[in-house]
Structure 1
Amino acid sequence: MRHRPAGPPPLGRRALLRGLAGAATLAAAPGPAGCGTDRRGDPGLVTMGSNRANPAQREAIAESLALWEADSGVRVELNTIDSTSFQESLNNYLQGTPDDVVAWFAGYRMRYLAERGLISDATAVWEERGFHDVFTDQVRDLCSGPDGRPYMVPDSTSPWAVFYRRSVFEEHGYEEPSTKEEFIGLCERMRDDGLVPLAYGVREGWPAMGTFDHLNLRLNGPEFHLGLLNGDHPWDGPEVKAVFGAWKELLPFHQGSPLGRGINEAQTSLVRGEAGMMLCGLFLTHVFSEEERADLDCFAFPEFDPEIGADVVETPIDGFMLSGDPRNPGAAMDLVGHLGTLRAQEIYTAIDPQALPTHQEADLSELSALDAKIMDMIAGARALTQYMDRDTRPDFASVVMIPALQRFLRRPDDIDDLTASIQRQKASIFGR
């Protein structure tokens, strides 16, 4: 990977990952609708289903698609739906009459679809565009199915870290912690200074996965973490109980009543300076104004075990897939290929503040200080993980783990019964 000290691509403030219109309309339907079968074979139209629904994402994808429309002479019909509804309805959507191109996530969630024949092999796109040379081996693996073939073209990532406002740290003389002891000490100081140490809102359920992931990665390492999410390890063993024990120790430093607070509300606490820190993905930049983003900084979730370290980064990768039977396969393949190019990624990531490009040749010459730090974290990572709901089966993530993590936050003393319940459900789903 090419790595230079600081700066986004020429059109903005973005960076690269080491180790994407016609009219972007927000659909009112409960999930992706797809298009009618009467459009099959129309050489002048390709359709796309997208979960990129916030204003910056919609603007960014519109610009990138407009570029391809101008070059190809083919019109893109974009079906946009909010991310949660899109995610919950994707399986049924892909088994119905889906769009030609579909925005989605790399990792287990994509492999799950590939294994079931719901998306198409994208090997031809990768070979024609030379993507094997512009994406790292680890990114390529995350975009490949169980057969080793690529099924997705990656375009951006929104890594996780502990975010804070630089002005708040400077006002109180805080320093970034690198160990568990320093982290707890900083939380105690913040609490004494009248701040909520850690903003926290998990009403949607899935945000709590980030806390489990980071503690498991720091206490047990990436190999155990990914094996656990793959069903290879028991959930009632000492390793997992240690994770919940460490989480219980940190709970007093978190914003109270998190199950009644959404993640956006928690992020607003950070914006207002009411909370000192927040473990979150780079998508939290959407609640900050451009001026406020200049005050935003971050550090890697601290080390909890010196033998494990803190060099694994939760780096969810987004991209685009071909549906199982596109109506306009030629145009769909060309569009997916375009979305992975350096030009398209620079356009997209210059507009969307949460997105960092995955293309290795992305220009770093104008990278913001925040993005430069995140890129350094990724560049120095021993391993990249996606996120619990991307690194495991969707039925296990949504049916088992979201309720389990919510139960833990209600009753944190109930670790033995909790982990035994997770293990019973895990064995039923994974068959082991």
Structure 2
Amino acid sequence: MTTFYAPQPNRRALLRLILAGAGAAALPGLAACGSDGGGTSADTVSFGNNQSDQVPKDAITAVLRSFEGESGLKVAVNTKQHEQYQEQINNYLQGKPDDVLAWFAGYRMRFFAEKGLTGDLTDVWSKVSSGYEPALKEASTASDGKQYLIPFTQYPWGVFYRKSVWQQRGYEVPKTLDEFVALATRMKSDGLVPIAFAQKQGWPGMGTFDQLNFRINGYQFHVDLMAGQEDWQGPKVREVFDTWKRLLPFHQENALGREWQEAAQSLQQGKSGMFLLGSFVAQQFKGADVDDLDFFAYPEINPEHGQDTVEAPIDGYMMSRKPGNPEGARRLLEFLATPAAQLAYLKADPTAIATSNKADTSGYNALQLKAAQVIKDAAHITQFLDRDTDPRFASDAATNGLNAFIQDPDDVDSVLKGMADQAKTIFTG
């Protein structure tokens, strides 16, 4: 029987505590700057920020400073390391969260909205809805028909590569899995690591699972699996892992000890040929290197589904259920919905695209233009495994199950049994 691999020894215990909702106070390090009726003055809005990497942190700071200049309000920023922010969000929301806080669209947004842990933004949406396509409003709406999130930026996942490396070696974009394997084989013989790979942070490998699952089994099966309506031990999921096992020898070794930034640097340095990640991978590229970066949609595996689905997570902002400065919070959220705010962010971090349909794209770089087109052309959009399913399943069963598989792909039976057992407990318990 495989023991699920946990790179952080106390992580599972911590997540159980969080997801059980134990304790009302925010966990250490994610204490709010002051809301829930206490501590926020009438001229200050507190802001919970999960953009801890320097580039996006500087970008959102520039946006908030612009808001301060326009509104006359002050913004007290509470930044937390990205993964810890996600791990601690449940208790944070039950305590005294910041007035406005970063989060994600889709299942993860609805999960907290339906528990009454975030504020209704329907009144803000009545002012900003003309700036969003219906799909973005849908992704911000809970089962009660009310909106709980303001979309800010969006980015696609794809297979990224350096154009100069490919041109030098005569590589061509693969359209099918067999072509992908043939290319990876050739890269390996050329002395490159075919596929950069990192899993220390627990979530990057989820992107590989998602791509394989909706390429093999289609969008609807993927959505149903994420909702606990399909069997993790069934033949369709087994085929996903069997396909991944075929591809693992082309992946960068020792992934469980590597962060995505390090894997991105191996691509940037020309040591790896490809890297499946979101377009934020460009944060690790500077100057002319950014112009040398390109990507393609994950290759077709099952012709029935082709390349019709694109993983394109939406990042945005929610309001706490009882903000200390409700008027200021709504003013900030309305500001974050504007093209000016989103483009100001993208000027400092041009790795994503604006969610506003009124944003001027003439200043987009080539990567952004392609990202916008790929998202526009997709028949189906997914948010990402840890955003599309119950957070209890994502944070424990999925993270540890994928880590166990990567560590020992020959023991897939026990991995799938463990994931299936936990899915039954979470989705039917």
The normalised TM-score by structure 2 is: 0.91
Q: Counterpart amino acid of 1:264?
A: Q
Partner of 2:234: 237
Counterpart CA distance in 2 for 1:180 and 1:109 is: 31
Counterpart CA distance in 1 for 2:111 and 2:43 is: 31
Q: Which runs of 5+ in 2 are unaligned?
A: 1-26
Counterpart CA distance in 2 for 1:96 and 1:29 is: 12
Contact 2:151 2:337 in 1 (8 A): yes
Partner of 1:329: 326
CA 1:261/1:242 → structure 2, altered by over 3 Å: closer, same or farther? same
CA 1:37/1:217 → structure 2, altered by over 3 Å: closer, same or farther? closer
Counterpart CA distance in 1 for 2:157 and 2:92 is: 29
Contact 1:34 1:93 in 2 (8 A): no
Counterpart CA distance in 2 for 1:32 and 1:170 is: 50
More displaced 10-residue stretch of structure 1: 236-245 or 262-271: 262-271
Partner of 1:95: 94
Dislocated runs of 4+, deviation >6 Å:
none
> Alpha-carbon deviations, 1:137-171, whole Å to 9, x = none?
21111111121211000010122100000000000
Deviation at 1:30, TM superposition (A): 3.0
> Alpha-carbon deviations, 1:35-86, whole Å to 9, x = none?
2667557321111111012222222212211222122211111111111111
Secondary structure at 1:345 match in 2 = helix
> Alpha-carbon deviations, 1:288-339, whole Å to 9, x = none?
1122111101100111011111121111111111101011111111110100
Q: Counterpart amino acid of 2:117?
A: L
Contact 1:65 1:76 in 2 (8 A): yes
Q: Counterpart amino acid of 1:91?
A: N
Deviation at 1:89, TM superposition (A): 0.8
Q: Which runs of 5+ in 1 are unaligned?
A: 1-27
* The one of 183, 191, 194 aligned to 1:197: 194
Partner of 2:361: 364
Counterpart CA distance in 1 for 2:63 and 2:255 is: 37
> Alpha-carbon deviations, 1:94-142, whole Å to 9, x = none?
111111111111111111110110101100001023xx22212211111
Q: Counterpart amino acid of 1:233?
A: E
Secondary structure at 1:365 match in 2 = helix
Partner of 1:11: none
Counterpart CA distance in 2 for 1:124 and 1:159 is: 29
Counterpart CA distance in 1 for 2:149 and 2:367 is: 28
Secondary structure at 1:97 match in 2 = coil
Contact 1:32 1:49 in 2 (8 A): no
Partner of 1:30: 29
More displaced 10-residue stretch of structure 1: 369-378 or 198-207: 369-378
Partner of 1:254: 251
Partner of 2:43: 44
More displaced 10-residue stretch of structure 1: 110-119 or 354-363: 354-363
The aligned runs of 1:381-396 (5 Å cut-off) are: 381-396=378-393
Counterpart CA distance in 2 for 1:339 and 1:318 is: 12
Contact 1:29 1:81 in 2 (8 A): no
Partner of 1:14: none
Query: Quick check: 1:312 aligned with 2:309?
Result: yes
Secondary structure at 1:353 match in 2 = coil
Partner of 2:82: 83
Counterpart CA distance in 2 for 1:32 and 1:283 is: 27
> Alpha-carbon deviations, 1:328-372, whole Å to 9, x = none?
111111110100111111111111122311011221223222222
Counterpart CA distance in 2 for 1:330 and 1:134 is: 21
Secondary structure at 1:376 match in 2 = helix
* The one of 342, 346, 357 aligned to 2:343: 346
Partner of 1:121: 120
Secondary structure at 2:321 match in 1 = coil
The aligned runs of 1:102-141 (5 Å cut-off) are: 102-129=101-128, 132-141=129-138
Query: Quick check: 1:398 aligned with 2:395?
Result: yes
What percent of counterpart residues are identical? Answer: 43
Query: Quick check: 1:289 aligned with 2:292?
Result: no
Deviation at 1:29, TM superposition (A): 5.7
Partner of 1:209: 206
Contact 2:213 2:237 in 1 (8 A): yes
Query: Quick check: 1:408 aligned with 2:405?
Result: yes
Deviation at 1:420, TM superposition (A): 1.8
Q: Counterpart amino acid of 1:281?
A: G
The normalised TM-score by structure 1 is: 0.90
Query: Quick check: 1:187 aligned with 2:207?
Result: no
Counterpart CA distance in 1 for 2:340 and 2:201 is: 35
Q: Counterpart amino acid of 2:121?
A: A
Counterpart CA distance in 2 for 1:29 and 1:364 is: 40
Secondary structure at 2:96 match in 1 = coil
> Alpha-carbon deviations, 1:163-195, whole Å to 9, x = none?
000000000000111111111111111111111
Deviation at 1:32, TM superposition (A): 4.1
| Backbone CA RMSD of aligned residues | 1.6
Partner of 1:429: 426
Secondary structure at 1:413 match in 2 = helix
Contact 1:32 1:80 in 2 (8 A): no
Contact 2:196 2:263 in 1 (8 A): yes
